Amino acid sequence: MQFRRFGATGIDVAPLVLGGNVFGWTADKAASFAILDRFMELGFNAIDTADVYSIFVPGHKGGESETVLGEWMKARGNRDKVVLITKGGLPMGEGLQGLSRGYLTRACEASLARLQTDYIDVYFTHRADDTVPIGETLDTLASLKAAGKIRANGCSNYTDAQLAEALAVPGGYDSFQPHYNLAWRAEYEDAAENLCVKHNLGVITYFSLGAGFLTGKYRSKADFEGKARGGSAGMYFNEANMALLDRLEAVAKRHNATMAQIALAWLMARPSVTAPIASATRVAQLDDILKSAEISLTTEDMAALEA
C-alpha cells in the first residue's frame, strides 16, 4: 500500500481514512474496537472524528466517538501508530460553540481529554464562524500548534470564498475537508480545488459514499426512509445521479468490485484528494470498502464515471 503525504503537514496517511462518526452510535464500543483493530491490522492509519459525534442522537451529549477512540488507543497502547484527526467549533451545548480564541482552545482541550492523548495530529475547525475574525482563529490554531497540542490544522465546510480568505492570512490552513463525491462535485471542483492545489493543502473528503447513496442500496426514496443515516442520502436523488448509479454499477462489474469500492477508488484517483473518509459499522463492511485501495481505474473508467 502506498502512503500519501498529507499536503505540507509532513504527515503520511494511507489512501483511506476511517470515519469515526459511528463509534458510540451505530457501532457500540465492542463493535468499534473490532473495526478499529481490523483497520490497523490491514495497514491503514488515519482516523477522523469530531467532538460533536454524536450529539445529534437523542440522549447523547457529544464526545461519544472521541471517548471510544481514547479508550481504544489506551487499551491497545498504539497512539503513536495512529494519525488522529478531530474537529471542533460546532455547538456542544449552550454557549459552547464557535471559533473564538477562548472557546476553540477549550474545545481542543476537551477533545484531548476524551481522546486520552496530549496531541492531535490534525485539528479541524468544523465550520466557518462569521462572528470571529479569521485571523483570531488561525492565531489560536498556531498557538495550539506551538504548544504541541496539535501537529497540523484544517477547515471543513468552508465555501471557496471563506477558504480563500483564510489562505490569504499568513500561516493559513494546512488541510481541507470538503463534502465531495461522485454525486456531489460542483461544490469542491474548480475554485476550492484550485486553492487546495495552489496552497498544497491535504484534502480528505467526507460523505465520500454519499451517506450510502453510492453503494447502490438506495434506488428509491422508500429505501432510505427510517434508516439512521438514510435521510442524508435524500440530497442526492435526482435524474442525473440515478443515471450515475447505472454507470457506477457498470464500472464495478468490469472490475468485479462493489459500487462502494469504485466510488472510493474514483476519489483516490482525483489528483487533489489525499484520501476519502469512509465509515463502517461492521468488520465485514470495513473489509469491503478497504479493497477500494487495491483498484486502479482506467482512463475509460474515469471518463464513464464523470460523464
Q: In 10 A of CB 239, how many CB atoms?
A: 7
How sure is the predictor about 221, in pLDDT bands with cuts at 50, 70 and 90? low
Note whether 223 and 198 are within 8 A (CB): no
What is the reported pLDDT for 218? 78
Write out the CATH class of domain 4-211+259-296: alpha beta
CA distances 166 to 11, 154, 176, 205, Å, are 21, 10, 11, 19
| 220, pLDDT greater than 90 | no
What is the reported pLDDT for 227? 58
State pLDDT tens for residues 96-107.
999 999 999 999
Note whether 45 and 2 are within 8 A (CB): no
Maximum pairwise Cα distance, the chain: 53
Note whether 1 and 12 are within 8 A (CB): no
The radius of gyration computed from the CA coordinates of the chain, to the nearest angstrom, equals: 19
pTM of the model: 0.96
Average pLDDT over residues 150-165: 97
First to last CA, the chain: 29
Average pLDDT over residues 132-161: 98
Average pLDDT over residues 255-263: 98
| 224, pLDDT greater than 90 | no
What is the reported pLDDT for 175? 98
Q: Where do the domains of the chain lie?
A: 4-211+259-296
What is the reported pLDDT for 228? 52
Cα–Cα distance, 200 to 173 (Å, whole number) = 10
| 50, pLDDT greater than 90 | yes
| 67, pLDDT greater than 70 | yes
Which grid coordinates belong to 82? 495512529
Cα–Cα distance, 206 to 214 (Å, whole number) = 13
What is the reported pLDDT for 247? 97
Cα–Cα distance, 179 to 201 (Å, whole number) = 15
| 205, pLDDT greater than 90 | yes
Note whether 140 and 111 are within 8 A (CB): no
| 145, pLDDT greater than 90 | yes
Q: In 10 A of CB 270, how many CB atoms?
A: 18
User: Exposure pattern of 37-69 as b/e (b: 16+ CB <10 Å)?
Assistant: ebbbeeebbbbbbbbbbbbeeeeeebbbbbbbb
| 85, pLDDT greater than 60 | yes
- For residue 225, which phi and psi values (nearest 5 degrees)? -65, 130
What is the reported pLDDT for 140? 98
User: Exposure pattern of 72-82 as b/e (b: 16+ CB <10 Å)?
Assistant: bbeeeeeeeeb
Point out the residues that are catalytic: 53
